[in-house]
Amino acid sequence: MAGIRTVFAPRGMAAAASSHRISICLVLMLLLGIPSAHSQIEKLYIDATDLNILVDETHLLKLVQVGQYNETLLVTSHVQHPDIVQLVPTTVEIPGSKEPNTTVENTYDICAYGKSPGHSEVTFNVTPTGFVNMDSIYLRITVMHSNAINVISYIMGWIYFAAWSVSFYPQIYINFKRKSVVGLNFDFLALNIMGFTMYSLFNCGLYFSSEIQAEYFKRHPRGLNPVQLNDVFFSLHASFATFITICQCFFYEKEDQRVSTVGRGILGVFVAIVIVTASIATAGHMAWLDMLYACSYIKLCITLIKYVPQAYMNYKRKSTVGWSIGNIFLDFVGGFLSVFQMALNAYNYNDWVSFFGDATKFGLGLFSLVFDIFFMLQHYVFYREGKDFVMVNSSDEGSDMTSSGEGREFFLLVDSWNADEKKYNLDVKA
């Protein structure tokens, strides 16, 4: 019946049906005529993605083509900064074949020449279009003054990583030796554990979550993951070491120290921000990546303010007893090497914009160094004769004090706590 209706259909309907069949035939012809447009997608690539070369150095790259096309293609490179790097030739011709072979592999040489220090991206396009998807094919080239400086910078990076990682243990050791946390500010500890927890969330999320990584690369398609394994280790280790220090506060002598009302209020604001952003992300109205960025901003804010309570406490006590100067030395070494590494890299790559332009990283590093120097001045200059103040009662057993009245309280200056004999070593001169 369908065939009869077609035969006796009106002239306009027959023409429409014929036109429809012609359209289908044209689509089939296109699909058969250029099979490589679909089957050969992303079959053209560069054998390197990141390249480091010296000034006046030439490096040989390979443009690799997997399979053949039935048309000649022209692959043209576009250098972001031609004054930094030059590619020769700028255009590679890939000849077509009447009988394409989908398994054959051809390579073409491209020379990258470093002209001056700096960073430059290289992108590629293919004409005619429609045969190869080149969106994911690119090249990052770094031209540097000296490979030796690059090696020194790498070594310095591991040194300051080690210094910062070890810097938590002098305080833990002093607390253990004194069996006391008197002199260690609890606001500092509370802010520190909050900051490193936020830092750990940010690092672990970007390093372990494929979904968050996909969101990051969607926004930065040619970027690298900013979080490396050593970042994850450092943040988790810092959180663990700070947690151990906080646990010491529950077992050792602490007098009447506690987290201040101001400190609790600041922590409450930060916790509220985390809860709100996490809730919005759970509801699907915010990307989890943005939630992690909020955590990183909290960490930055904490880094700016966390040293203030300890510095003020030292000022009030006119003493740094109980606050580890070893922690400060290691933190200073790590911060100094971090800033110095930034300066070396800026010179080696002629990239002073990143040195001064990254105000957050540079500012935080400089801010930490200033506080470290201030703590050293407090310890060695301002309060170098500082002792612990201890309140004793003349009626206490073993006090060995005589006075006109029983039960009178005295404030004494002490040098240290003798854990073996469970008594203070008194400063006789005091």
Q: Are the CB atoms for 223 and 152 separated by under 8 Å?
A: no
353-393 tens-digit pLDDT: 666 655 556 667 788 899 999 999 999 998 886 555 544 44
H/E run at residue 154: helix 147-166
Tell me, what's the pLDDT at 280? 95
Q: How far is residue 168's CA from residue 171's CA, in Å, rounded to a whole number?
A: 6
Q: How far is residue 35's CA from residue 13's CA, in Å, rounded to a whole number?
A: 33
Give all domains of the chain, ordered by start, each with its CATH number: 2-31 (no CATH), 39-144 (2.60.40.10), 148-382 (no CATH), 388-426 (no CATH)
- Helix intervals (H) in 167-287: 169-178, 186-208, 210-219, 229-251, 261-282
Q: How far is CA 201 from the centre of its chain?
A: 11
H/E run at residue 305: helix 288-305
Q: Flag residues of the chain having pLDDT under 50.
A: 1-41, 390-413, 415-417, 419, 422-424, 426-430
66-113 tens-digit pLDDT: 877 788 888 888 998 899 999 999 998 888 877 777 778 888 899 999
Q: How far is residue 246's CA from residue 242's CA, in Å, rounded to a whole number?
A: 6
How far, CA to CA in Å, does 65 sit from each of 38, 132, 139? 15, 10, 16
Tell me, what's the pLDDT at 407? 43
Q: Are the CB atoms for 312 and 117 separated by under 8 Å?
A: no
Q: How far is CA 84 from the centre of its chain?
A: 27
Q: What is the pTM of this model?
A: 0.69
